[in-house]
């Protein structure tokens, strides 16, 4: 395959594999974002919520939090919410922001900018990604126990068990898309599971493009374009530069992808072309 250089991050070249779809870098922050794992756009407020681990990936050290960043990559606030441990996936319903934090789901009141509740998840060891339905039902994955939990009215109940490598989640039109290691799976309300695609790397973030296709990341440093028919193309490969690609956010209207780079401590925006 032909590789073309399209941008530079941290003075190191990034490469995009020449396919039907490509990524064009729009902006990047400086290396000031304290281990960003997940980004969640709030288009009404024109900002991104960012989970900040700011320590070990699974350490209950109280160093984590949630920051805010403008959709243009400016006006970064890394102190909006503090006192978390190793926060990862983010989900929102109305004025509530949900954060996966190792063994509990933290609920933040957005207008007040403060934690209002912590929902303990029984037997949880490594809560990772979160997605929320239009009705406010929360799904959260536990990567170490291989489980996916469903939280309704702040009460967690086991939804799926025996999901090795459980990670990325996305609720789309009545179906739950979820990562089972390298397998992108889809489960409906009757808990009937369908394999969407098998990827070359373990899946982290999942976002719908808006046409039945998906953008999927692997934490180690890959971004993939997954067509509805299961075909997989590589959009970005930065693993050799230690540039992680964690739990992404996506704006289908403008086709802008927001990427938290974890150990590189940046957020980078790309346009899907």
Please write the tens of the pLDDT for every residue from 200-222: 999 999 999 999 999 999 999 99
3-state class (DSSP) for residue 183:
strand
- pLDDT surpasses 90 at 14: no
- Least Cα distance to 225 among 211, 239, 238, 244 occurs for 211
pLDDT of residue 185: 98
Greatest Cα-to-Cα distance within the chain, rounded to the nearest angstrom: 51
- pLDDT surpasses 70 at 15: no
Residues contacting 73, CB < 8 A, separation 6+: 26, 27, 28, 29, 267, 269
Give percent of the chain above pLDDT 70.
93
> What is the Cα–Cα distance from 7 to 263, expressed in whole angstroms?
19
Q: Quick check: 139 and 186 in contact, CB under 8 A?
A: no
CA distances from residue 136 to 2, 98, 133, 200, 202 in whole angstroms, order as listed: 44, 10, 5, 33, 28
Whether the CA torsion 144, 146, 151, 156 is positive or negative: it is negative
159-205 pLDDT, tens digit each: 999 999 999 999 999 999 999 999 999 999 889 999 999 999 999 99
At 38, list the tokens. Answer: 């997940």
Every domain of the chain and the residues it spans:
3-272
Give percent of the chain above pLDDT 90.
91
Q: Which CATH number fits domain 3-272: 2.120.10.30, 2.60.40.1190, 3.40.50.880, 2.40.70.10?
A: 2.120.10.30
Q: Tell me phi and psi for residue 220, to 5 degrees.
A: -65, -20
Q: What is the mean predicted confidence (pLDDT) over 65-82?
A: 98
How many residues would you count in the chain? 273
**Residue in the structure block whose two tokens are 């919410």:** 81
Identify the DSSP state of 247.
B
> What is the Cα–Cα distance from 1 to 9, expressed in whole angstroms?
22
Helices and strands, counts by H and E, the chain: 0, 26
pTM above 0.85, yes or no: yes
DSSP element (H, E) containing 18 = none
At 184, list the tokens. Answer: 């992108």
Q: Quick check: 252 and 215 in contact, CB under 8 A?
A: no
Confidence of residue 12 (pLDDT cuts 50, 70, 90): very low
pLDDT of residue 119: 98
- pLDDT surpasses 60 at 11: no
pLDDT of residue 5: 33
Nearest 5 degrees, angle CA 257-CA 263-CA 267? Answer: 25
Confidence of residue 16 (pLDDT cuts 50, 70, 90): very low
Q: Quick check: 239 and 200 in contact, CB under 8 A?
A: no
Q: Quick check: 38 and 88 in contact, CB under 8 A?
A: yes
241-257 pLDDT, tens digit each: 999 999 999 999 999 99
Q: What is the mean predicted confidence (pLDDT) over 68-91?
A: 98
Strands 166-172 and 175-180: antiparallel
The average confidence (pLDDT) of the chain is: 93
86-138 pLDDT, tens digit each: 999 999 999 999 999 999 999 999 999 999 999 999 999 999 999 999 999 99
Confidence of residue 267 (pLDDT cuts 50, 70, 90): very high
- pLDDT surpasses 60 at 19: no
């Amino acid at each position: 395959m032909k590789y073309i250089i399209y941008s530079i991050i941290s003075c190191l070249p990034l490469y995009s594999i020449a396919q039907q779809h490509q990524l064009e870098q729009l902006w990047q922050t400086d290396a000031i974002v304290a281990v960003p794992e997940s980004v969640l756009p709030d288009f009404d407020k024109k900002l991104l919520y960012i989970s900040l681990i700011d320590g070990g990936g699974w350490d209950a050290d109280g160093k984590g939090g949630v920051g805010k960043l403008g959709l243009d990559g400016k006006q970064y606030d890394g102190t909006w919410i503090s006192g978390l441990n190793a926060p990862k996936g983010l989900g929102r319903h109305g004025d509530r922001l949900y954060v996966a934090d190792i063994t509990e789901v933290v609920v933040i009141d957005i207008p007040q900018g403060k934690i209002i509740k912590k929902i303990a998840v029984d037997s949880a060891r490594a809560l990772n990604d979160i997605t929320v339905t239009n009705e406010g039902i929360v799904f959260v994955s536990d990567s170490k126990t291989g489980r996916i939990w469903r939280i309704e009215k702040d009460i967690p109940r086991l939804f799926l068990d025996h999901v090795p490598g459980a990670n990325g989640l996305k609720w789309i039109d009545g179906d739950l898309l979820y990562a089972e290691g390298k397998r992108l799976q889809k489960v409906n309300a009757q808990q009937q599971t369908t394999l969407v695609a098998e990827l070359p790397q373990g899946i982290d973030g999942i976002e719908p493009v808006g046409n039945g296709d998906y953008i999927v990341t692997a934490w180690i440093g890959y971004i993939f374009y997954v067509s509805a028919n299961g075909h997989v193309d590589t959009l970005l490969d930065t693993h050799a530069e230690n540039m992680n690609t964690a739990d992404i956010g996506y704006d289908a209207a403008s086709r802008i992808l927001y990427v938290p780079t974890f150990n590189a401590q940046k957020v980078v925006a790309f346009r899907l072309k």
